[in-house]
A and B are shown apart, each in its own frame.
Chain A
Amino acid sequence: MIAAFTEFSVSSARAAARITPADPVDCPTPDSDHELMLSVREGNLDALGELFERHNGRLFGYLVKLTGDRTMAEDIVQTVFQRMLKYRHTYRNEGSFTAWMYHLARKCAADHRRKSAALPFAADPEALSKQADGSPWADENAASVDDRALLRNALDRLDPADREILLLSRIKELSFAEVAEVLECSAGAARVRAHRALGELRDHFLKLQRKALP
């Protein structure tokens, strides 16, 4: 039953074939993510360590941008890999590992968000400055001339669903078809929503840039 949360498959032969050895003659062929995860499923648990090495940085970066909170992002990454270990038998043979991983991350982030919203928590003062500011225009006075900081602020102003699809669409390992599978919508809808989110981000970004001008 729990498998319903972790079972995930995409009809993506392309995904399985995406990782190809750079030099098939001299180097030993590295296993694809998909092969490694199948190996984990069959009991070679060390292969999960290799998958972690390959993906933890990018997944963490995505989640930091999504949540604006490093601690939360770390908790979610940890939960994702723990669930991979625990529910490894639910990994499907025809799947794309990356899409499955982001699908799990999405579920874990949603769980985390729901719980955080439902429970009072003692905020760590040190973390406050790093958290996404959800209040509208709350950071108007904190505008920075640094484009990266402005972009971060613009990102925080997006609707969470728009932020999610925009960030997923920027992950090079995911095609729109796979982003759509992660989000459980059609590829066309994913593409349109990602474009719309990009337009909104651009509008916020330009507005903040104008305000930051002396």
Chain B
Amino acid sequence: MNCAQICEHLPEFIDDRLAAGTAAEIRRHLAGCQACRHEYETLSATLQALDAQPEAEPSPRLRENLLASIEEEKRALRAGLRRPAGQPSRMRPWIWRTCLQGLAACVLLAFGFLAGVRRASAPAQPAADSTARQLAELNSRVDSMGRLVSYTLLQQQKSSANDRLEGVLTSATLQRPTENVIDNLVSTLVLDPSVNCRLNAVEALYAHADSDVVRTAIRVSLPREQSPLVQLAMIDFLAAVRDRDAAPAFQKLSASALADPSVRVAAGRALTQL
């Protein structure tokens, strides 16, 4: 081997990843060639310094978040609320506790209220109607509490990406979100720097696909979106709701050389679905 070939093999030689014969040949060459020896020594010192970089330790928060997500996914699967490839969450235990405590208090209050009403009122209505009304009132109170929690989290401008994501995910579970909550979901979709938050906002907005505001917001955001993952979710959304006004955006994306190949394919396919 000449000097150029020797140098080409030096990184593997330093890492001891060469066959014994090749390594022996390089060793012999280095013994007699000062230039290659200098190359070997400097590369070796660099790799040594690179490998000696201290290993950083991630925050314990990461583990807590993942374990909470796994638990939530398991609960959702058990309850049949989520398909296997469903959407995860990063609920932290304290947020769970806070939400559940609030909801539990709300449920107890509602039960107390309903029990009082039941006692005070004459049994004039059929039992089935009465139960249905009680359940409706109970649902209403639970939903109000959920709206409050979600809205508060979404309003926290200084909150972390995790907290913002919690707000989005909580919003997704509301049966009757207020306009403010929908506005915040749309704001998250347009402005949030976290891909996860935007992605989950798109999924949360499926529940409001009949709203012109929601469809328009997603249609307008699509060309400005940078993440292919979120772009794909937006295309899926607009195709699912058969939003014909999205056709120009789909055409543009399907022909764009700058778009991710998967996005181009998805936009082309969505065009055929409109």
Contact = CB atoms under 8 A, between A and B. Distances in A.
B43 A81 contact: no
Interface residues of B, number: 50
B131 to A, nearest CB: 36
Contact of A85 (B54, B56, B69): B69
Interface residues of A: mostly helix, strand, loop or mixed? helix
B56 to A, nearest CB: 5
Q: Which of A48, A111, A112, A121: most chain B Cβ within 10 A?
A: A111
Interface in A91-105: none
B73 interface: yes
A198 B51 CA distance: 12
A164 to B, nearest CB: 14
Contact of B73 (A73, A85, A118): A85
Contact of B46 (A1, A74, A119, A198): A198
Interface string A179-200: 0000000000000001100110
Interface in A50-70: 52, 56-58, 60-61, 64-65, 70
A77 B227 contact: no
Given A78-B62, A82-B90, A205 B55 contact: no
B247 to A, nearest CB: 18
Given A4-B262, A89-B85, A170-B50, A45 B74 contact: yes
A87 B85 CA distance: 6
Contacts of A64: 56
B66 A81 contact: yes
A14 interface: no
Contacts of B195: 79, 108, 111-112, 115
Contacts of B46: 151, 198, 201-202, 205
B226 A118 contact: yes
B134 interface: no
A113 to B, nearest CB: 10
Given A74-B58, A152-B53, A5 B229 contact: yes
Nearest to B9: A195
Interface string B35-77: 0000000110111011111111111011101110110011001
B193 A121 contact: yes
Contacts of A138: none
B233 A2 contact: yes
Contacts of A57: 55, 57-58
A49 interface: yes
Given A43-B84, A64-B56, A87-B85, A198 B11 contact: yes
B196 A85 contact: no
B55 A61 contact: yes
Contacts of B102: none
B32 interface: no
Contacts of A198: 11, 43, 46-47
B58 to A, nearest CB: 4
Contacts of A205: 45-46, 49
Contact of A60 (B43, B58, B90, B228): B58
Contacts of B69: 82, 85
A27 B196 CA distance: 40
A46 B70 contact: yes
Contacts of B86: 86
A140 interface: no
Contacts of A199: 43
25 contacts: A5-B232, A43-B77, A45-B70, A48-B66, A49-B66, A49-B67, A56-B62, A60-B57, A75-B161, A78-B62, A79-B196, A85-B66, A85-B70, A85-B88, A86-B86, A111-B226, A115-B193, A150-B49, A151-B50, A170-B50, A198-B11, A198-B43, A202-B43, A205-B49, A206-B42
Given A75-B194, A78-B66, A82-B196, 19 more contacts: A5-B228, A46-B70, A48-B70, A49-B66, A56-B63, A57-B58, A61-B53, A73-B58, A82-B90, A86-B88, A87-B85, A111-B227, A114-B226, A114-B227, A148-B54, A150-B49, A151-B53, A202-B42, A205-B46
